[in-house]
């Protein structure tokens, strides 16, 4: 009888040794803390991975051992995170920074503002930068990293983004396409849902702040 019990215990321990552990965490913007939806989280050297959910959260099941998670997201730097899995592992919030393309644009912006070659500070964003940053996001997200601009999402639908420039909302900000105003004539709002394909044909954005 004692032999039988010992055999069962050994079998149970063996199964426990092969059990996979839950590894979870959150991916967020390093500057704003905003969760990144749909960020890729891959185990380096394998084809195992997942994407973050609407809250920027992810879960993976891994055996005990040392791994490297590779986190990538359009417009952001690829980040590698070493993980030593021993049981359930919570990585907390993993912050990723904006990509090198965005940083180089910021340097150009600074020189324009200092030189004052125009009466007001001007930010110019080129088409290749726009295509890289916007991805499957709404068009206002392109301006999220530019000085004095704050972008928010009012709801879950496409076109619900709002832009605030130096504390002024869209009703007090002139938005023009090829010199033609697109603000609503009655209330001043910009309905971005009407311009869903705008990022595909935009060659440049000039943003002036007085």
Structure tokens at 182: 């697109």
Same domain, 105 and 202: yes
Long-range contacts of 183-190 (CB under 8 A, 24+ apart): 190/163
pTM for this one? 0.43
Q: Give tens-digit pLDDT for 95-132.
A: 998 764 443 443 334 434 444 444 556 667 777 777 77
Q: Give tens-digit pLDDT for 125-154.
A: 777 777 777 766 777 777 776 777 777 776
Residue where one domain finishes, among candidates 31, 65, 96: 96
Same domain, 25 and 112: no
State how far Cα 62 lies from the chain centre.
25
Q: Give tens-digit pLDDT for 34-57.
A: 899 888 999 999 888 899 998 899
Contact predicate 149/140, CB 8 Å: no
Residue where one domain finishes, among candidates 96, 125, 152: 96
Residue where one domain finishes, among candidates 55, 74, 96: 96
Same domain, 121 and 50: no
Same domain, 123 and 175: yes
**CATH code of 31's domain:** 2.60.40.10
Confidence band, pLDDT 50/70/90 cuts, at residue 2: very low
Contacts of 64 (CB under 8 A, 6+ apart): 21, 85, 86, 87
């Amino acid at each position: 009888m004692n032999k039988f019990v010992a055999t069962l215990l050994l079998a149970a321990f063996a199964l426990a040794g092969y059990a996979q552990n839950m590894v979870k965490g959150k991916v967020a913007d390093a500057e704003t803390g905003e969760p990144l939806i749909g960020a890729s989280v891959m185990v380096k050297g394998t084809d195992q991975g997942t994407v973050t959910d609407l809250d920027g959260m992810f879960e993976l099941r891994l055996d005990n051992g040392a791994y490297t998670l590779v986190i990538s997201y359009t417009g952001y730097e690829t980040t590698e995170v070493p993980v030593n899995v021993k049981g359930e592992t919570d990585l907390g919030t993993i912050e990723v920074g904006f990509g090198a393309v965005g940083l180089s644009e910021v340097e150009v912006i600074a020189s324009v503002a200092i030189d004052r070659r125009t009466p007001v500070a001007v930010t110019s964003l080129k088409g290749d930068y726009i295509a890289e940053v916007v991805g499957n996001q709404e068009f206002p997200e392109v301006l999220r990293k530019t000085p004095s601009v704050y972008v928010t999402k009012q709801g879950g639908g496409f076109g619900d983004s709002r832009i605030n420039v130096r504390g002024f909302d869209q009703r007090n900000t002139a938005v023009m396409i090829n010199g033609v105003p697109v603000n609503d004539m009655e209330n001043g709002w910009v309905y971005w849902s009407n311009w869903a394909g705008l990022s595909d044909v935009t060659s440049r954005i000039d943003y002036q702040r007085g």
